[in-house]
Amino acid sequence: MCRTLAAFPTTCLERAKEFKTRLGIFLHKSELGFDSGSIGKFEWGSKHSKESRSFSEDVLGWRESFDLLLSSKNGVAAFHAFLKTEFSEENLEFWLACEEFKKIRSATKLASKAHRIFDEFICSEAPKEVNIDHETRELTRTNLQAATASCFDVAQGKTRTLMEKDSYPRFLKSPAYQDLAAQALASSTSASSSSPAEPSHT
């Protein structure tokens, strides 16, 4: 995008406005049923924008690798919205819960949180039961007897692999992402072609 708001040409501002509108549509269409409370919202702009990749670069980066998608707050939000259309959002929610779980430093909190995650995502008939094999489920149950930050690692890894091999390719092919990526590409191309030339210093 353009470097500073003051330097935005009218076309760049219009494109930014259109892009933001499309993001809203992507997240808030009723059929997506996006839960902004649990995952977060798309962030348009940032007070650290000079240090971070532009939004269009962020969107285009999601198709480069699953790691880049998961490392982007906006990418996670978009992927979650997509998974809700396939009724498989529990996989991502479990993965995110595990990431937060690893940050806990208190042994007491670690144990109680581990049981909550297990009851919500792992045990049979859990409200958000993830698709893992019986062996992994029992291994995780055993790990809970002496909960550590790594007790969900195997289950989390298998869930991540399932998303990467199955849901992620469909997300990239979805009309919502294809449209978003096209806008990002157009925005990125427009910004680079309309950026004012640097003054020469003689």
Number of domains in the chain: 2
Same domain for 122 and 145, yes or no, is: yes
201, part of any domain = no
176, part of any domain = yes
44-50-53 Cα angle (round to 5): 60
CATH number for the domain that contains residue 35? 1.10.196.10
Q: Which domain holds residue 45?
A: 7-86+167-194
Same domain for 149 and 116, yes or no, is: yes
172, part of any domain = yes
Q: What is the pLDDT of residues 66-88, one digit of tens each?
A: 999 999 999 999 999 999 999 99
- Longest CA–CA separation in the chain, Å: 73
Confidence band of 186 (pLDDT split at 50, 70, 90): confident
Q: What is the pLDDT of residues 99-149, one digit of tens each?
A: 999 999 999 999 999 999 999 999 989 999 999 999 999 999 999 999 999
Same domain for 38 and 49, yes or no, is: yes
Same domain for 68 and 104, yes or no, is: no
| Residue 81 in tokens | 């919205």
Please give the single-letter amino acid code of residue 17. K
Q: How far apart are CA 53 and CA 32, in angstroms?
A: 27
Same domain for 81 and 95, yes or no, is: no
122, part of any domain = yes
